[in-house]
Chains A and B, each alone.
Chain A
Amino acid sequence: MESKKIDVWVGLFVLIGAAALLFLALKAGNLLSLNFGPTYDVTAQFDNIGGLKSGAPVKSAGVVVGRVAGIQFDNQTFQAKVKLALDQRYQFPTDTSAKILTSGLLGDQYLSLDPGASSKNLQNGGVIQNTQSAVVLENLIGQFLYNKAASSNSGSSNAAAK
């Protein structure tokens, strides 16, 4: 009888531990969103990928349709070559355009696909031609300051001419 009681308590302990592991995997790690389904590979060339990382989501209309599988530097074109693993369930036209966006102001960067109008779909190993680079905040601020300086300069010179 004594050993039976111990078995019950040990069973309870193992169950609690397994429940904790399951909680960590499902609630904290989000195992359910991981996709082990078949994928096909597509590449896209970008002038600047900003902070895009391998494993970042690929979204279309806000829905995750794949992951960034790998990022390389192409020494021929001096561009970034991004490999995307797209879910086999989703097909995109060949003139789909890709752009790198940021989720929120300080969030992670992800890749957005805007489908085109072509009747042919991207195949495994296909290339996305239309790409739009990541917005680099420093460049944007630099441009803004430059324009501001130019317009205030021309404004003051006009006033002097009058």
Chain B
Amino acid sequence: MSVVLGFLASIGFGTRRLLANLGYGLRLFLRLLALLPGALRRPQLIAQQVFFLGNYSLSIIAVSGLFVGFVLGLQGYYTLSRYGAANSLGLLVALSLVRELGPVVTALLFAGRAGTSLTAEIGLMKAGEQISAMEMMAVDPIARILAPRFVGGLITMPFLAAVFSAVGIVGGYVVGVLMIGVDSGAFWSQMQGGVDVFKDVGNGVVKSLVFGVAVTFVALYQGWRAQPTPEGVSRATTRTVVVASLAVLGLDFMLTALMFST
């Protein structure tokens, strides 16, 4: 009897904790959105975060974009040449990068490179009781610490995704045109004929913006709710990567279904 009751109680406890976490996350999210205009009035704090999140991520994003472009060029040529359509290589590379790979891979790298450092930073601040100290001084830690990082991540992601796609197209050009010998004019003209500025490039930018919000928010939330111990911070950092990556992939499927279904 007590086993059954204990089982029921564990289900109830799990549900209650899930709901509490969801509510806490939603409230934090709404709080951050409400603090957006206030955070924009202090551009110096945001600039520091853009520098920290953006400039330091630029090298890994550019290098990954280049190599993804190389691989797309090689694999795309291999498949397209079977159908005698190697001239469409530019279109294939550009569409895959602008629509999917640019935003998604950038967001995954961003979660690994920038999201983890956000979580660790905030978790350690909490462990060192810096956040409690700020509350003692009547400084709102959400407005002073979380909001600038949120805005910084939001600004950074679309630019990083654009750099990724642009460098990737150049990588596809290097492999496809310079190494394999696809006609340069066909490469660019097929691309320009098939890529729509608003439907493809614009939707890619919207996607990267949504991913930026998701990854940055997950990282901030995990840091904010981390157990203030070394073990708790390490666990929160791991959760950031897992949750943010899954969120990006799930959101990507939904956004693609909404944007490109017609």
- Interface with A: B69-77, B118-126, B188-196, B249-257, which one? B188-196
Contact indicator B48/A17 (Cβ below 8 Å): no
Tell me which residues from 1 to 43 in chain A have a Cβ below 8 Å from any Cβ of chain B: 3, 6-7, 9-10, 12-14, 16-21, 23-25, 27-31, 33-34
Tell me the complex Cα distance, A27–B191, Å.
Answer: 8
Contact indicator A10/B163 (Cβ below 8 Å): no
Tell me the complex Cα distance, A18–B54, Å.
Answer: 13
Tell me which residues from 177 to 197 in chain B have a Cβ below 8 Å from any Cβ of chain A: 188, 191-193, 195-197
Tell me the complex Cα distance, A20–B196, Å.
Answer: 16
Interchain CB contact (< 8 A) of A13 among B58, B165, B169, B205: B58
Per-residue interface assignment for chain A, residues 43 to 74, with 1 indicating a CB less than 8 Å from any chain B CB and 0 otherwise = 00000000000000000000000000000000
How many chain B residues touch the partner (CB < 8 A)? 33
Query: Secondary structure at chain B's binding surface: helix, strand, loop or mixed?
Result: helix
* Count, A-B residue pairs, CB within 8 A: 87
B196: chain A residues within 8 A (beta carbon): 29
Place the interface of chain A in its size category: 20 to 34
**What's the minimum C-beta distance from B84 to chain A, rounded to whole angstroms?**
8
Per-residue interface assignment for chain A, residues 83 to 112, with 1 indicating a CB less than 8 Å from any chain B CB and 0 otherwise = 000000000000000000000001010000
Contact indicator B192/A33 (Cβ below 8 Å): yes
Q: Which 7 A-B pairs have the closest CB atoms?
A: A17-B159, A30-B192, A29-B197, A20-B166, A20-B162, A21-B162, A20-B163
Question: Can you list 20 A-B pairs, Cβ within 8 angstroms, ordered by A?
Answer: A3-B47, A7-B47, A9-B55, A10-B51, A10-B55, A14-B50, A14-B159, A16-B58, A17-B158, A17-B159, A17-B163, A20-B165, A20-B167, A24-B98, A24-B169, A27-B188, A28-B165, A28-B192, A29-B192, A34-B197
Chain B residues with a Cβ under 8 A of chain A: 44, 47-48, 50-51, 54-55, 58, 84-85, 94, 98, 156, 158-160, 162-163, 165-167, 169, 188, 191-193, 195-197, 200-201, 204-205
